[in-house]
Amino acid sequence: MGGDAARGWEGDDRMTVLVTGGAGYIGLHTVAELMAHGEAVVVVDDLSTGHRLPEPFAQVPFYPVDIRDESAVASVIERHDVDAVVHFAARSLVGESVQDPLLYYERNVGATQHLLRVMIRTGVRRLVFSSTAAVYGHPDRTPIREDDPTAPVNPYGETKLAIERMIRWCGEAHGLSAISLRYFNAAGAHPDLPIGEDHRPETHLVPIILQVALGQREAITVYGDDYDTPDGTCIRDYIHVMDLASAHRLALNRLRTTDVRTEVYNLGTGRGHSVLEVVAAARRVTGHSIPVVMGPRRAGDPATLVASPERAQSVLGWAPAHTDLMSIVASAWRWHRSHPDGYEENLHSM
């Protein structure tokens, strides 16, 4: 790729991206996006929640490594001339984090501490970090801007915020150049490749609704219809996973071309949809009646979470391509209908 000084760190012409957690849902879609734009990518993933890379990714160097193993990560960085890290590897279930907070401190904060140490030691200065809207807790206003107060209400959001702060301090102390991306509700699947959302157990709204359409569940239980929203159900900002992926690519470009210290961006469409609106969209997309059962509220759910994506649009030049709910649900449906059992191998190490 040549030693183009404009690409970043002076005298640094390494150009491989290390993707941690690249076997997970958002990680693998980002790997696909980076490769489609000519990036060399190497994946590390301990497969504790991810899936072995499917066939179209057979050429991607893959290491079944836990990022807490500093020497293993350092040798991957050195072998592949890594110049930047996109860091997804984490535990990411809100409910699980409430049940087992120490697991989240260990696997999110602790593991990232090891990763940062290796990056500093090996001279890798660029980092894109996978953060979350959960850092805002129950927001005071909507749409949420990046400078609004952060007040997580569960260990998952708390650990992601702790990592953002750890990254900021490392930026000041060690010259790390980093962008944290706060995702709202990821949904959808790759338009061409056989990859999509497959969590075990599944807790997310869109795949659960589509499992009803596939006849794998009787009904969708709506967690509360007494919220202060127009139809009483929670409002979320659903963002297509390929739009999240493109934001990572743009963030990486920014780190390579601009003198960034640490920055934070919301990733959402700026438009919210209630749980019942998502069900209605899925009924239209699938032609299935999708029965609904009203249930109690789920602990910790804010009534409304909608992003202001203005900063990502103006600074990163990010322009989400799939902004309407129907096309996001249709994209998820294409994957679920063609892969009713998710990733066939179903290989998990835990």
Residues designated catalytic: 156
DSSP secondary structure letter of residue 253: H
CA gap 25, 239 in Å, rounded: 13
**Dihedral, CA atoms, 116, 118, 124, 128, nearest 10 degrees?**
-30
With a CB cutoff of 8 Å and minimum separation 6, the contacts of 66 are: 46, 72, 111
Q: Kindly state whether residue 221 participates in binding ligand UFG, applying the rule CB under 6 A.
A: yes
Q: Measured from the CB atom, is 177 or 185 closer to ligand UFG?
A: 185
Within 13 Å and on the Cβ side, how many CA atoms surround 85?
31
Q: Kindly state whether residue 304 participates in binding ligand UFG, applying the rule CB under 6 A.
A: no
| Contacting residue, 88, 104, 129, 156, with ligand UFG by CB under 6 A | 156
DSSP secondary structure letter of residue 17: E
Cβ–Cβ < 8 Å for 235, 301: no
Site map (CB under 6 A) of ligand UFG, residues 76-95, x = contact: ----------------x-x-
Closest separation in Å from C-beta 247 to ligand UFG: 16
Closest separation in Å from C-beta 21 to ligand UFG: 13
Q: Is the peptide bond before 143 cis (omega within 30 degrees of 0)?
A: yes
Closest separation in Å from C-beta 9 to ligand UFG: 32
Q: Kindly state whether residue 223 participates in binding ligand UFG, applying the rule CB under 6 A.
A: yes
| Contacting residue, 86, 163, 255, 275, with ligand UFG by CB under 6 A | 275
Q: Kindly state whether residue 131 participates in binding ligand UFG, applying the rule CB under 6 A.
A: no
Q: Kindly state whether residue 325 participates in binding ligand UFG, applying the rule CB under 6 A.
A: no
CA gap 4, 55 in Å, rounded: 33
Q: Kindly state whether residue 298 participates in binding ligand UFG, applying the rule CB under 6 A.
A: yes
Closest separation in Å from C-beta 156 to ligand UFG: 5
CA gap 313, 213 in Å, rounded: 35
CA gap 86, 41 in Å, rounded: 10
Closest separation in Å from C-beta 49 to ligand UFG: 12
Contact residues for ligand UFG, defined by CB under 6 A: 92, 94, 132-134, 156-157, 185, 203-205, 208, 220-223, 234, 236, 275, 298, 301, 305
